[in-house]
Amino acid sequence: MAAGPAPSGGRARAQRLHLSKMERVVLSMQDPDQGVRMRSQRLLITVVPHAVTGGDVVEWLIQKFCISQEEALHLGTLLVQHGYIYPLRDPGILVLRQDETPYRFQTPYFWTSTLWPAAELDYAIYLAKKNMRKQGSLLDHEKERYDQLHKRINHAWDLVLMQAREQLRAAKQRRKGDRLVIACQEQTFWLVNRPPPGSPNVLEQGPELSCCAASPVQMTKSSDFYKQEIECCRKALGRARVKSSVCLEAYLQFSVQHRLHDPMLSGCLPGNPWITDSAAYWAVNSPTAAAPTKLRVERWAFSFQELLEDPVGRAHFMDFLRKEFSAENLSFWEACEELRYGGQAQVPALVDAVYQQFLAPGAAHWVNIDSRTMERTLEGLRQPHRYVLDDAQLHIYMLMKKDSYPRFLKSDLYKGLLAEAGIPLETKRRVFPFPRKPWHASPSPALLPPSGEPMVAGGPDGGDSVA
Amino acid sequence: MCDQTFLVNVFGSCDKCFKQRALRPVFKKSQQLSYCSTCAEIMATDGLHENETLASLKSEAESLKGKLEEERAKLHDVELHQVAERVEALGQFVMKTRRTLKGHGNKVLCMDWCKDKRRIVSSSQDGKVIVWDSFTTNKEHAVTMPCTWVMACAYAPSGCAIACGGLDNKCSVYPLTFDKNENMAAKKKSVAMHTNYLSACSFTNSDMQILTASGDGTCALWDVESGQLLQSFHGHGADVLCLDLAPSETGNTFVSGGCDKKAMVWDMRSGQCVQAFETHESDINSVRYYPSGDAFASGSDDATCRLYDLRADREVAIYSKESIIFGASSVDFSLSGRLLFAGYNDYTINVWDVLKGARVSILFGHENRVSTLRVSPDGTAFCSGSWDHTLRVWA
């Protein structure tokens, strides 16, 4: 669990940002006018100056940052856990108590961010001092570590003991109050750098990551790197931008439109499964549900993309297209998607299949693409790759979006679905003392057979009905 | 394409000078060659014209970036919170932990939802990857990876496989099987190979393609079946930490964020960087698209989350508070995009009103830093994973 010398390199430096911010907070706490109220604290017969109470610290945080008491206590606790504030009584536990418990600010010498290597030798000296000062005062885990260190740096043990004795002797020259304070400061430092088992190690930053080049400059920036940046900037400068007012307006519209569909904002019927412990909501909205809810059908009118993303919506759209004799458009689009996201090995076969079915003259499901796109596509088919049908796919997608989709929304088919669609009944809230509803398991998707046609049957299980 | 050099011990004939030397693999315009160290050195300053030095190129890049910022500012005629004055404020917001998933013996680093809205996969520091039915809190599958610090995991769209990787520099795909006689690790497929740790991975619209981000500064698109590299994305100046695929209808872009403080939007087909944003003050730990696909949010070690609009081509909002000191490790939007959930290294989760820019709520509960956070596919809940070994589902 050795903290060791702080890792150098960009990533480690970045992670120290929160430490410097904590220091700023702690410094402003010590401001004589705006800071926390300082007082002298009497501990038995010793008087320690410049102490603050836990309660005052929390109050100050509440005032300064306009936050709740819970948050202030949490932030204060983090400051203590990182060793910036230490308790004068019970210095073995780094916890912030919101009462008259006295605390003091850690001296910058011991600040975590100083990157002072908390080396084994120093720790050994500290433990030796503790042991010498009062026999049997080492805690179990400290005794263990002391013994381990003894084995590991046995060759330097004389130095350790000598240093410990010297430091103790020098300490005796000081006033009792100062001695107490220095002891607390040191103890806090070691609590942070060598946390006892069970308490969180706040210095832990993540895996020992070797950056690309183990130097502060992350990567060898060759001339090509800068040229690429310059190229990227030039392209960006030439790009057409949209006014902020237009873009931001779009967020408003999107939020308002989707507000009722957002379970976290508007709840959901029959009830949020995580709150009511009933999976009825998922059953009612399953990808194969025969009777989609009103909200679901409404969503298909938000955008063409939403309609296609819902398997039930897409199936109904396909029915509509069949009536209009343009079902091959959707089939073609689906086949193109399969090509784009399919396995690399299947690309030639899929391209060929699509050509035979949709593009060849006299094909069974010939799609009507404009001549220029068709020419380009046929040209590209000579060397098939997964993106060769992109132009044609986009053309057909836009055709459906601008033409068939608006007609679908105005059609009797869609209006009928909207009228038929119901709103599920809300599940009655359970009232104590009834026991918690058992959480029903569901079959894992990994168990289901590979999907072909979506199953049309299947009512919801759990029994909650649609109004 | 960015040129990079890596160290490998291979001896042979240099592709440039043909002498028998110790070779390194070198990428020139996305083609891999083997150069000896002398030729590699020459290549670094290759392509410089007369009067050009690395320093002059760097300053040209800087000045262009400055001009770009000016151009972007010209069309910025209103702030988000001004527009948002017309929207009603959110009411009292109460979210609680509804499920606690205990079972990992070490820090939880990453998680992902299954499309069935209740199953999740999570990975941890000790190499364990677990698939849970989080509704019942039952563990359904568990796999132990041969490496520690599994920082990335993803659920396949079909729900039949998972992908994960970390310090092993690889991304492996495991088909999920309920066959008691079969060891899941037996069917493992090694798909991606990077030269540094894997930081993020995601399936595209099918089980057959995976997008990965790595500490070697690149992102890459792979064919799962063959392990073939389909496209690589060079441009980040440092480790790439996160990525997210765009929910757009023509589905061809994704955004990545890295240690170089940049968020970059890429075209999957050509491998080119389409847009780049550099306003964060520290590493970007997480990026997530707004549900409409017109914007994305990022969370960073500088303790802020920011919203970037793709059509306006600029940052449009900053979510920060003086009392929030620790970095944001992961962000995600609610279904309507009105709420932004962000997990922080100070063990809390802050909920932001995306439009008004104010913090709506702060959630306590985790006992160590929150490392990962995802909203469920139907928006009914979100799940957070933490270094305190647990995952929590909130609703």
Q: Give B49's contacts in chain A (Cβ within 8 Å).
A: none
Rounded CA separation B181/B183 (Å): 7
Predicted local distance difference test score (pLDDT) of residue B153: 96
Rounded CA separation A124/A150 (Å): 8
Predicted local distance difference test score (pLDDT) of residue A46: 80
Using a pLDDT cut of 90, give the percent of chain B over it. Answer: 74
Reported as a pLDDT band with limits 50, 70 and 90, residue A209 is low
Fold of A120-193: 1.10.1240
Which pTM was predicted? 0.88
Which of A154-158, A211-215, B359-363 has the highest average model confidence (pLDDT)? B359-363
pLDDT tens for each residue of A407-448: 999 999 999 999 999 888 887 766 665 566 778 888 888 886
Instruction: Considering only the beta carbons, identify the residue of A212, A305, A447 that sits closest to B217.
Output: A212
Does A183 have pLDDT greater than 50? yes
Q: Does B334 contact A304 at a Cβ distance shorter than 8 Å?
A: no
In one letter, which amino acid is A14?
A
Fold of A18-110: Arc Repressor Mutant, subunit A (1.10.10)
Q: For residue B55, what is the enclosing H or E element?
A: helix B54-74
Does A245 have pLDDT greater than 80? yes
Instruction: Considering only the beta carbons, identify the residue of B135, B158, B223 that sits closest to A343.
Output: B223
Residue B297 structure tokens: 């949010």
Please give the C-alpha separations between residue A430 and each of B45, B135, B295, in angstroms, as whole numbers.
Answer: 72, 18, 41
Task: Give the residues across from A121 on adjacent strands.
Answer: none
What are the residue ranges of CATH 2.130.10.10 in chain B?
Answer: 96-394
At residue A377, φ and ψ (nearest 5 deg) are -65, -45
Predicted local distance difference test score (pLDDT) of residue B17: 84
Nearest CA-CA distance, residue A262 and chain B, Å: 5
Mean pLDDT, rounded, for A260-272: 93
Q: Does B335 contact A261 at a Cβ distance shorter than 8 Å?
A: yes
Nearest CA-CA distance, residue B216 and chain A, Å: 6
Q: Give B90's contacts in chain A (Cβ within 8 Å).
A: 265
Cβ atoms within 10 Å, residue B70: 9
Instruction: Considering only the beta carbons, identify the residue of B44, B273, B301 that sits closest to A14.
Output: B301
Residue found by looking up tokens 């609610």 in the block: B334
Is 2.130.10.10 the CATH number for B96-394?
Answer: yes
pLDDT tens for each residue of B234-271: 999 899 999 999 997 777 899 999 999 999 999 999 99
Give the residue among A39, A49, A52, A84 at the shortest CA–CA distance from A176: A49
Q: Give B344's contacts in chain A (Cβ within 8 Å).
A: none
Instruction: Considering only the beta carbons, identify the residue of B44, B84, B303 that sits closest to A222.
Output: B44
Rounded CA separation A270/A283 (Å): 10
At residue B119, φ and ψ (nearest 5 deg) are -90, 150
Cβ atoms within 10 Å, residue B45: 12
Range B316-342 burial, b when 16+ CB lie within 10 A, else e: bbebbbebbbbbbbbbbbbbbbbbbbb
In terms of CA atoms, which chain B residue is nearest residue A62?
Answer: B323
Fold of A265-420: Regulator of G-protein Signalling 4; domain 2 (1.10.167)
Q: Does A227 contact B47 at a Cβ distance shorter than 8 Å?
A: yes
Rounded CA separation B392/B395 (Å): 10
Does A466 have pLDDT greater than 50? no
Domain boundaries, given as residue ranges, for chain A: 18-110, 120-193, 265-420
Helix, strand, coil % in chain A, rounded to nearest 5 = 55, 5, 40
Rounded CA separation B129/B152 (Å): 10
pLDDT tens for each residue of B265-280: 999 999 999 999 999 9
Q: Give B228's contacts in chain A (Cβ within 8 Å).
A: 344
Rounded CA separation B8/B195 (Å): 10
Three-state DSSP at A215 gives: coil
Evaluate whether A344 touches B223 at the Cβ level (below 8 Å). Answer: yes
Does A450 have pLDDT greater than 60? no
Task: Give the residues across from B391 on adjacent strands.
Answer: B101, B385
Burial class (CB in 10 A: 0-12, 13-18, 19+), B217: buried
Does B196 have pLDDT greater than 90? yes
Three-state DSSP at B185 gives: helix
Helix, strand, coil % in chain B, rounded to nearest 5 = 10, 45, 45
Q: For residue B351, what is the enclosing H or E element?
A: strand B349-353
Predicted local distance difference test score (pLDDT) of residue A6: 36
pLDDT tens for each residue of A77-95: 999 999 999 998 877 788 8
Task: Give the residues across from B20 on adjacent strands.
Answer: B13
Task: Give the residues across from B296 on adjacent strands.
Answer: B289, B308
